[in-house]
Chain A
Amino acid sequence: MPHIDLKNDLPGARSAFAYSPETAEPIGILAEILMRSDEGLTRSERELIGTYVSYLNDCFYCHHSHGAIACIYLNGDRQLVEQVRKNYQHAAISDKLKALLQIAGKVQQSGKAVTPDDIENAREAGATDKDIHDTVLIAAMFCMMNRYVDGLATTAPTDMSSYPLRAKQIVETGYGSHIYKSAQPASDQT
C-alpha cells in the first residue's frame, strides 16, 4: 500500500503523476524529449539505459515497465533486454552502448563516480557529446523516478501481462499526461 493516500488506483509512476499533475507535466515532457528523440541515440538504446539504471536501483515497477518498452522497440527481443539488465558486457549490443551503460551505471552510484576514462572510452567507441549528455541525463532522471515511485511505495502490478500493454501505449502515443488521464490499457484478448 502506498505511504500516502494518492487518491487513485493507478500503478507506479502513473499514480504519483495523477496525484501531482503540476509537477507531472514538466516531467512528462522531459521524458518525451529525452526518451523519444531520434537524434543520436535510438529509442531502444534510451529505454535500455533507463531499464538498466532502474534495475540497479532495484525499482521493480520502472525496470519492468521500461524493459517492456525497450522490448517492443527491439522487435520482441526479450532476451536482449534481460542480458542488458544482468550482464550487458556479454550482450549483443554495440561497444558504444556498452561504454554508455558503463557511464549510466556510474551515474547511478553518484555523479562524481564518472571518470575521464569512462568518457574517453565512450568517445573512442563513437559516442558524441550529445550521446554522453543524454546518457547522463537519462540515468539521472531514472534515479529521480525510481526514488519517487519507491519512496512513496506506489503499487507495482504483480500481473506481468499488464506491463506490455502499458508499454504498447507509450510506444504508440508517447509520454505525457494522457498516461494517467485516460483509461488504462486493457488486454485485447478479453
Chain B
Amino acid sequence: MAHIKVPEGVPGIRSLVLFRPETGKYLYELVQVLLRGESPLTQPERELIASYVSYLNHCMFCMSSHAAAARCLYGDEKNMVDEVLHDMQHSHVSEKMKTLLHIAGKVQILGKQVSQEDIDEAGKQGANDREIHDTVLIAATFCMFNRYVDGLASFTPEDAEAYAEMGKRMAEKGYVMPQQAT
C-alpha cells in the first residue's frame, strides 16, 4: 500500500500525479518534451536510457513501463531492450549508445561520477554535445521519478500484460496527464 492516501488501484506515477495535479502537470510536460520532443537521440533510444537507469535504481514500475514503451518503439529490433537490461556491454546496441548508457549509469550513481574520459569516449563514438546533454538529463530525471514512485510506495503491478498495455499507450500517445475518474 502506498505511504499516503492516493487513488486505489491506479499504478505508479499516475496515482501520485492524481494526488497532486499541480506538480503532476509539469512532471508530465517534462517527460513528454524529454522523451518525445526534439532530440538527436531517437525515441526508442531515449526510452531505453530511461528504462536502464530505472533498472539500476531497482524501480520495477518505471523499468517495466519504459522497457515496454521502448519495445514498441524499436519494433523489429525490440530484443535490444532485454539485451541491454540483461548485459548492456554485450548487447547489440551501437557503440555510441553503449558509451551514452555508460554515462547514464554514472549519473545514476552521482553526477560527479561522470569523468572527462567518459565524455571523450562518447565523443569518439560520434556522440555530439546535445546527445550527451539529453542523456545526462534523462538519467537525472529518472533518478527523480524512480525515487518519487518508490519513495511513496506507489502501486507496482506485477503482471507483464499490464506493462505491455502501458508501453503501447506511451509509445502511441506519449505522456498525457491522467484524469481523475468521476
- Note whether A and B form a binding pair: yes
Please report A residues at the B interface, Cβ cutoff 8 Å.
Answer: 3-5, 16, 19-20, 22-23, 25-27, 29-30, 33-34, 57-59, 103, 106-107, 110-112, 114, 116, 119, 129-130, 132-134, 136-137, 139-141, 143-153
Measured between beta carbons, the chain A residues less than 8 angstroms from B145 are 140
* Residue of B26, B30, B116, B144 touching A143 (CB-CB under 8 A): B144
Q: Are B3 and A22 in contact (CB under 8 A)?
A: no
List of 4 A-B pairs having minimum Cβ-Cβ separation, nearest first: A150-B111, A111-B150, A144-B144, A147-B140
Q: How far is the CB of A124 from chain B (nearest CB, A)?
A: 14
Using an 8 Å CB-CB cutoff, how does the interface string of B132-165 with A read, 1 for contact, 0 for none?
Answer: 1100110111011111111111000000000000
Chain A residues, Cβ within 8 Å of B19: 129, 133
Chain A residue numbers with a CB within 8 Å of B22 are 33
Enumerate 23 A-B pairs (CB-CB under 8 Å) in ascending A order: A26-B26, A26-B27, A26-B29, A26-B30, A29-B26, A58-B112, A107-B147, A110-B150, A111-B149, A114-B153, A116-B3, A132-B152, A134-B20, A136-B147, A137-B20, A143-B140, A143-B147, A148-B111, A148-B140, A150-B112, A151-B107, A151-B111, A152-B114
State which of A119, A132, A151 has its C-beta within 8 Å of the C-beta of B136: A151
A16 proximity list for chain B (CB < 8 A):
133, 137
Which single residue of chain B is at the shortest CB-CB distance from A4? B129
**Shortest CB distance A159–B (Å):** 21
CB of B119 within 8 Å of the partner chain: yes
**Residues of chain B in range 47-87 having any CB-CB distance to chain A below 8 Å:** 57-59
Judging by beta carbons under 8 Å apart, are B140 and A144 in contact?
yes
Chain B residues within 8 Å of A136, by CB: 147-148, 151-152
When C-beta atoms are compared, the residue in chain B nearest to A19 turns out to be: B133
Contact A57 B110 (CB under 8 A): yes
Please state if A147 and B153 are interface contacts (CB–CB under 8 Å).
no
Main secondary structure of the interface of A (DSSP, over half): helix
Closest chain-B Cβ to A22's Cβ sits at a distance in Å of: 5
The answer to whether B4 touches A133, judged by C-beta atoms less than 8 angstroms apart, is yes
Contact call A59/B38, Cβ cutoff below 8 A: no
A60 to chain B, nearest CB (A): 9
B137: which of A23, A33, A112 is its contact (CB, 8 Å)?
Answer: A23
**Would you call A34 and B23 a contact (CB within 8 A)?**
yes
- A157: min CB distance to chain B, Å: 17
Q: A57-B110, A137-B23 are in contact. Are A147 and B136 (CB under 8 A)?
A: yes
Q: Which of B1-30 contact A (CB under 8 A)?
A: 3-5, 16, 19-20, 22-23, 26-27, 29-30
Bound Cα distance A137, B16 (Å): 10
Residues of chain B within 8 A (CB-CB) of A151 are 103, 106-107, 111, 114, 136, 139-140
Q: Is the CB of A147 within 8 A of B139?
A: yes
Query: Which A residues touch B176, using CB under 8 A?
Result: none
Q: Taking A3-B119, A30-B27 as contacts, is the C-beta distance between A132 and B3 under 8 angstroms?
A: yes
State in angstroms the CA–CA spacing of A29 and B23 once bound together. Answer: 9
In the complex, B34 has a CB within 8 A of chain A: yes
Which chain B residue shows the least CB distance to A148?
A: B140
> Contact at B133–A133, with CB atoms within 8 Å?
no
**What is the distance, in angstroms, from A20's C-beta to the closest C-beta of chain B?**
6
Across-interface contacts of B141 in A (CB, < 8 A): 144
Q: Is the CB of A133 within 8 A of B20?
A: yes
Chain B residues whose C-beta falls within 8 Å of the C-beta of A107 in the assembled complex? 147, 151
